Amino acid sequence: MINECWQPYIGYAWILVLALVFLTYLISDGLVSGIGILSLWIRDQQVLSDMTESFSGVWHTHQTWLVVFAGLLFGSFPVVFGRVLSVLYLPAFLLILGLVIRGIAIELLELKESRRLWTFFFALGSIILTLSQAMVVVLTLQIVFYSAFSRLPASALMANVFTFGLTMTLIFSYILFGATYLIGKTSGDNQTLFYIIARKVAVFLIVAAICVIVGLSIPQPQHPIILYTAFGVTLILSLILFRCLMQGKEKPLFFLAVACFIALFVALLSTYPGLLPALASIPLFVSSAKSQITLLTVFCLVLPVIIIYNIFQYRVFRGKVDEGNLQNY
């Protein structure tokens, strides 16, 4: 029988697993949402067609990570799952609504009829999804930060600036995912267009990220070394990304954008255990430590299969969409 002293370490392992799964969902699904938001500013029908074709072979599996996250959260932290879902009822509803609207729009865009209408709904669903995800993070953190801001002058203004910065960081990150991904999937004038968009968005993202980091620093940081290291890494990667954009490089752009997002995500995790402090007294598990280890082991065996399948998908559908050499289209 497994000693109960191991249970806290199992809890930390589950927190790490859940963070990685949620991060993977945000990156993969954020790519599609970013392209959806970008479509609002594109009028050329051929460019819009190339944008949707660039991800049409891989986007269906992105929601898998969200389902996996919800299932693992319920299996590992059932009480927390119930409390969190009750607090985040509205964002959860909006997230599902955004998924439905965006999914229907993407499928109907392939019919080549009423493209402007379905492009609008594609963008609308993407915006709803992005805002709902931002609401999840803001509602999770607001207990920590609003209490800290309340002790400072102009507390309401500072809290709103932090909330706005966090929301804009998520939106600009997704747009940057979409723009850098499309740079690698297009060429010629289309690629030049996405270079211009990516350069502008990168500047706004840096400003929004600074607002977030300043907001994270106002309360007493739980792990200041992690917070400021993550901020430093974000700035360095952002500068490298901007330089690559100015030099017209193609291959490292999307991975640099993802790396910047991961660094910011780590900065948010540095607030643990201040994250959801109201849930600190809730028992982490209702089942035995042995059952939790079994569940964690099964997940670790299944995870490589999911990752390999996703990598295989992107490899199969590699290539540039506007040169007619996209594999298997």
Q: What digits encode the pLDDT tens for the residues 216-259? A: 776 666 677 888 888 889 889 988 998 999 988 888 899 999 99
- Tell me which amino acid residue 254 is: F
Q: What digits encode the pLDDT tens for the residues 138-193? A: 776 655 444 444 444 445 555 666 777 888 888 999 999 999 999 988 888 888 88
Cα separation of 329 and 78, whole Å? 43
Q: Which of 37-41, 80-84, 168-172, 186-190 has the lowest mean pLDDT?
A: 80-84
Residue 137 has pLDDT above 70, yes or no: yes
pTM of the model: 0.84
Q: What is the mean pLDDT of residues 28-34?
A: 91
Residue 242 half-sphere exposure toward CB, CA atoms < 13 A? 14
- CATH 1.10.3470 assigned to domain 10-323? The reply is no
Integer CA distances (angstroms), 165 to 35, 135, 309, in order: 21, 12, 35
**pLDDT computed for residue 140 by the predictor:** 66
**pLDDT computed for residue 264 by the predictor:** 86
Cα separation of 127 and 38, whole Å? 10
Q: What digits encode the pLDDT tens for the residues 90-110? A: 888 999 999 999 999 988 887
Output the six-digit token pair for 297. 């082991």
Task: Domain ranges for the chain, please list them.
Answer: 10-323
Cα separation of 274 and 290, whole Å? 28
Query: Which of 204, 183, 177, 191 has its CA nearest to residue 34?
Result: 177
